[in-house]
Amino acid sequence: MVKRIVSVAICVAVLLFIYAPILLLVVYSFTDSNVIGKWDGFSFALYADLFRDAEIMQILFNTVWLALVAALLSTALGTAGAVGIFYSKRKFAKPLQAASQIPVINAEIVTAISLALLFSALFLYRTYFSLIVGHMVLCTPFVVLSVMPKLKQMDPNTYEAALDLGASPSQVLFKVVVPQIFSGILSGFMLSITLSLDDYIVTAFTKPPMFDTISTYVYNAVKNGTNNSTPALRALSALIFIVMIAVLLVINLRARKPAQKEAAK
Amino acid sequence: MNEQKKEEMIIRLVNVSKVFDETTAVENVSFYVRKGEFITFLGPSGCGKTTTLRMIAGFDIPTSGKILLNGQDITDLPPNKRPVNTVFQRYALFPHYNIYDNIAFGLKMKKVPVTYRNEKGETYTKMQKLTRREIDEKVKNALAVVDLEGFEKRSVSTLSGGQQQRVAIARAIVNEPEILLLDEPLGALDLKMRKEMQIELKEMHRKLGITFIYVTHDQEEALTMSDTIVVMKDGCIQQIGTPTDIYNEPANAFVADFIGDSNILNGTMVDKLTVRFCNRNFRCVDDFERNEKVDVVVRPEDIEMCPPEQGMLVGRVVSVVFKGVHYEITAMVGRSEMIIQSTQSRTVGELIGMNIAPDAIHIMKKELTSNRYDGYITKKNTVVFGDGEFECDVTTLYPGSHLDEDGYLITAQGEKIDLTDADVSVEVGLTDIEISDNADEGGARGHIVSLIYKGDHYQYIVRTEENEEDFVLDTEDLWNENDYVSVKIRPENIHMKLKQEIK
């Protein structure tokens, strides 16, 4: 009995440790004070401010738009890359796959600085192009990483069977290969969106001067160590947190359903 | 005759080889398949049968050689351009489609020429996709052929293995291919299902009139279903023939061993239509050169058991296994093992006589590369074989071993082993045997019964008196027939292998 209580207590302590800062933020998003720590009574004022603030709304739109475009392009590129690696000769496939994963472990700041250098050499520094390419560099390896296992799980004979039944290689790709690896492509896409949404470093190094995403905006706003200037950001952060939790729940529940079906068989 | 044969030839492989990263999967294979035939590639795994099939399908391109379909070179044609369809071992159905869409897949890809007539009365042809109605009709027919009517909307994962295999067959035959390739299609099914599907496939072949090329490692399946069997080993064709030919007249020891159970024995032709094995002469129906070394095949069901005094061979029963329809009895005749299949049982330890009819003895040419004997080790650590006793190095039987002062073998692990009476198989190369006039010098003695001049050397056969064992040797020295000689073999040239572990 004591053992049980201790183990539960430890779990709660760990979770508290992880979530305390966020909870604090969420709680203080419901009060209309300038600094965290001062409770001026419960109110939705910050949320109202948030949706009235045209600048923040524009930035929110920028962030989502950038995430969607970068994720779509990365997913297309990453899927093509994974398929290409998978169907190369073994001699090439291994080094190719290893090379495609180096950006994952590479420090993001290194990626960001190299991107900045490259684009200034190409006279494309701080343009929408450099921003989108920067985010693609960030996301594509993760798409490859999530599509690859699906390709490996696929029955390799289905590719040959489709060829055998008269489909051209490109027809095989779209009618047989892509549908079978679709769940991998989808999770690669979702991963790309989350990566792009909260990215600060690469964005900061590649964005056009007058363009801001939530990350860069928040960073600039709290640069001085306080967030006095825009308390509405507390509401925004709380909202993002809640939306993320909701998305995570939906994905997990969706993933469990087919698994249960499978298990039921 | 020849002309007509060529005409009905649907596919032909000419000197086809396939090399994967230095390993040769298929080596210089040539054969043809007649239209409408059920041909089976049979062989152990890794013999190149599946690679051959994959080259016909177009999944693998031959390293050298040509593949001709109806006389046209299709060697480099991609699989989607070949009028050939494949049924895969693991079905390879598309998991994201239902049964209908799986079967309709090939039809939706297909374009057929359709002839139109315009207002001026001119006719012209256009390549067109099949209509929805045509596809529906064909899919329905295909499902009827494989007995799965009403399964259109089911998903692949709800089907059993046998049903999935039927869908895979339907998916292939619905395209009306000229050749249907089947790569061990029944390999993943249980025995009962396999037997049913064998009959159904054979029936389908008869009804559809499509050429079937079938790959299997199951010799019974091959014998049951095929018109022609191609036996393969190590990338080479061993024999092509009807099931009856392959079973009754195997081309070599490998085929005999692979197709059905058989006793394969070393023999020598001692006279016209007479072969000697197990120390006895037998009448036979195959004619070979006198004194030629041959492999003798006797099917277990062709050995008749009788009382010991009436038998051509006498042996002691060492095991009896009940196999359902028959008993499988193993008897030792001297140091050779004989397997007998009979509906009568015998008890272990009993002495039995065995008779073999002349036409049950099948004799095959033997590529003679070395002398092989059954022998045993003596107390003195010498080896007895071929009616002689020879000095040998028993430590070669156990790597890293040595002998102690008392003559016991100490293994690398320090175990002490008494080799006395251990049965060994002995191999001696043709050039490793010397003969000498001095009768006391060698381990065995005999008369030279044959000498053949082979260009730069002579090949002699020395036959011992007691059990008529033969030593075949190559040497440049000249001897005469009927010379009485002794046989010398240096200990390091006697290659021995233990027949079973010593406890």
What pLDDT shows up at residue A265?
Answer: 44
Give the nearest partner residue to B92 out of A158, A168, A182, using CB atoms: A158
What pLDDT shows up at residue B480?
Answer: 86
What pLDDT shows up at residue B4?
Answer: 45
Ranges of each domain in chain A: 59-230, 233-265
What pLDDT shows up at residue A229?
Answer: 59
Distance between CA atoms of residues A155 and A151, nearest Å:
8
Residues in chain B closer than 8 A to A168 (CB atoms): 80
Indicate the pairing of strand B484-489 with strand B495-498.
Answer: unpaired
Q: What percent of chain B has pLDDT over 90?
A: 42
Disruptive mutation site among B61, B74, B87, B88 for chain A (greatest number of A CBs within 10 Å): B88
- Whether chain A has a CB inside 8 Å of the CB on B171: the answer is yes
Q: Is the pLDDT of residue A86 over 80?
A: yes
Q: Between chain A and chain B, how many beta carbons pairs sit less than 8 Å apart?
A: 66
Distance between CA atoms of residues B39 and B222, nearest Å:
9
> Per-residue pLDDT averaged across A13-25, rounded?
90
Neighbours of B310 (CB within 10 A): 10
Per-residue model confidence as pLDDT tens digits over A119-158: 999 988 889 999 999 999 999 999 999 999 999 999 889 9
On whether the B370-498 domain is CATH 3.40.50.2300, my answer is no
- Whether chain A has a CB inside 8 Å of the CB on B106: the answer is yes
B94 to chain A: nearest residue by CA?
A158
Query: Of B173, B221, B232, nearest to B197 (Cα)?
Result: B221
Confidence of residue B503 (pLDDT cuts 50, 70, 90): low
HSE-up of B159 (CA within 13 Å, CB side)? 23
What pLDDT shows up at residue A261?
Answer: 54
Confidence of residue B232 (pLDDT cuts 50, 70, 90): very high
Residues in chain A closer than 8 A to B172 (CB atoms): 164-165
Highest average pLDDT, of B6-10, B164-168, B370-374, comes from B164-168
What pLDDT shows up at residue B1?
Answer: 38
Distance between CA atoms of residues A64 and A61, nearest Å:
5
> What CATH fold (topology level) applies to the domain A59-230?
MetI-like fold (1.10.3720)
A264 to chain B: nearest residue by CA?
B158
ipTM: 0.75
Per-residue model confidence as pLDDT tens digits over B406-449: 778 888 888 888 888 888 888 888 888 888 888 778 888 898 88
| Interacting residues of A85 by C-beta distance below 8 A, sequence separation 6+ | A93, A96, A97, A100, A144, A148
Residues in chain B closer than 8 A to A160 (CB atoms): 57, 59, 79, 86, 88, 92
Element at B412 (helix H, strand E): none
Looking at the DSSP assignment, which residues form a beta bridge with residue B353? B306, B314
Disruptive mutation site among A150, A164, A172, A178 for chain B (greatest number of B CBs within 10 Å): A164
- Whether chain A has a CB inside 8 Å of the CB on B115: the answer is no
B111 to chain A: nearest residue by CA?
A166
Q: Which residue has the higher pLDDT, B173 or B254?
A: B173
Tell me if B94 and A171 make a contact (CB, 8 A cut-off).
no
Element at B471 (helix H, strand E): strand B470-475
Give CA separation, B359 vs B248, B338, B419, B499, in Å: 10, 18, 41, 31
Residues in chain B closer than 8 A to A182 (CB atoms): 96
What pLDDT shows up at residue A145?
Answer: 93
Distance between CA atoms of residues B312 and B483, nearest Å:
31
Q: Is the pLDDT of residue B175 over 60?
A: yes
DSSP string, B180-192: EEEESTTTTS-HH
Q: Which residue has the higher pLDDT, A167 or B8?
A: A167
| Interacting residues of B392 by C-beta distance below 8 A, sequence separation 6+ | B377, B381, B382, B383, B491, B494, B496
Output the CA angle B126-B129-B133, nearest 5 degrees: 125
Q: Is B33 helix (H, G, I), strand (E, B) or coil?
A: strand
Q: Is the pLDDT of residue A24 over 80?
A: yes
What pLDDT shows up at residue B3?
Answer: 43
Per-residue model confidence as pLDDT tens digits over B366-389: 766 788 888 888 888 889 988 888
A161 to chain B: nearest residue by CA?
B92
Q: Is the pLDDT of residue B68 over 80?
A: yes
Which residues 96-155 of A have a C-beta within 8 angstroms of B?
155
B84 to chain A: nearest residue by CA?
A164
HSE-up of B496 (CA within 13 Å, CB side)? 29
| Interacting residues of A191 by C-beta distance below 8 A, sequence separation 6+ | A139, A142, A143, A146
Residues in chain A closer than 8 A to B109 (CB atoms): 165-167, 171
Q: Which residue has the higher pLDDT, A38 or B28?
A: B28
Tell me if B85 and A165 make a contact (CB, 8 A cut-off).
yes
Contact B338, B264 (CB under 8 A): no
- Whether chain A has a CB inside 8 Å of the CB on B94: the answer is yes
What pLDDT shows up at residue A224?
Answer: 60
Tell me if B175 and A166 make a contact (CB, 8 A cut-off).
yes
Distance between CA atoms of residues B285 and B429, nearest Å:
30
Neighbours of B318 (CB within 10 A): 13
Residues in chain A closer than 8 A to B167 (CB atoms): none
Superfamily of domain B2-83+177-248: P-loop containing nucleotide triphosphate hydrolases (3.40.50.300)
Which residues 33-62 of A have a C-beta within 8 angstroms of B?
none
B173 to chain A: nearest residue by CA?
A165
Which residues 180-199 of A have a C-beta within 8 angstroms of B?
180, 182
Confidence of residue B49 (pLDDT cuts 50, 70, 90): very high
Q: Is the pLDDT of residue A198 over 50?
A: yes
What pLDDT shows up at residue B2?
Answer: 44
- Whether chain B has a CB inside 8 Å of the CB on A259: the answer is no
Per-residue model confidence as pLDDT tens digits over B142-151: 999 888 999 9
Task: Find tokens 């000229």 and name the residue.
Answer: B178
Confidence of residue B316 (pLDDT cuts 50, 70, 90): very high
Per-residue model confidence as pLDDT tens digits over B327-369: 999 998 887 889 999 999 999 999 999 999 998 999 888 766 7
Determine phi and psi for B24, rounding to 5 degrees.
-90, 115
Distance between CA atoms of residues A235 and A45, nearest Å:
9
How many Å lie between the alpha carbon of B195 and the closest alpha carbon of chain A?
A: 25
- Whether chain A has a CB inside 8 Å of the CB on B95: the answer is yes
Distance between CA atoms of residues B275 and A243, nearest Å:
90
Tell me if A164 and B86 make a contact (CB, 8 A cut-off).
yes
CATH 2.40.50.140 range(s) for chain B read: 262-365, 370-498
Give the nearest partner residue to A164 out of B57, B93, B110, using CB atoms: B57
Tell me if B110 and A161 make a contact (CB, 8 A cut-off).
no
Q: Is the pLDDT of residue B157 over 80?
A: yes
Tell me if B80 and A265 make a contact (CB, 8 A cut-off).
no
Residues in chain B closer than 8 A to A180 (CB atoms): 94-96
What pLDDT shows up at residue B455?
Answer: 60
Give the nearest partner residue to A179 out of B80, B88, B96, using CB atoms: B96
What pLDDT shows up at residue B126?
Answer: 81
Superfamily of domain B262-365: Nucleic acid-binding proteins (2.40.50.140)
- Whether chain B has a CB inside 8 Å of the CB on A237: the answer is no
- Torsion over CA of B428, B430, B431 and B437, rounded to 10 degrees? 90
Disruptive mutation site among B86, B103, B107 for chain A (greatest number of A CBs within 10 Å): B86
Q: Helix H segments across A31-107?
A: 45-52, 54-86, 90-105
Tell me if A166 and B171 make a contact (CB, 8 A cut-off).
no
What pLDDT shows up at residue B61?
Answer: 93
Residues in chain B closer than 8 A to A171 (CB atoms): 109
Tell me if A163 and B80 make a contact (CB, 8 A cut-off).
yes
- Whether chain B has a CB inside 8 Å of the CB on A201: the answer is no
Residues in chain A closer than 8 A to B92 (CB atoms): 155, 157-158, 160-161
Tell me if B92 and A171 make a contact (CB, 8 A cut-off).
no
Per-residue model confidence as pLDDT tens digits over B75-91: 999 999 999 999 998 88
CATH 3.40.50.300 range(s) for chain B read: 2-83+177-248
Confidence of residue A204 (pLDDT cuts 50, 70, 90): very high
What pLDDT shows up at residue B86?
Answer: 94
Q: Which residue has the higher pLDDT, A111 or A247?
A: A111
> Per-residue pLDDT averaged across B7-33, rounded?
89
> Per-residue pLDDT averaged across B164-189, rounded?
91
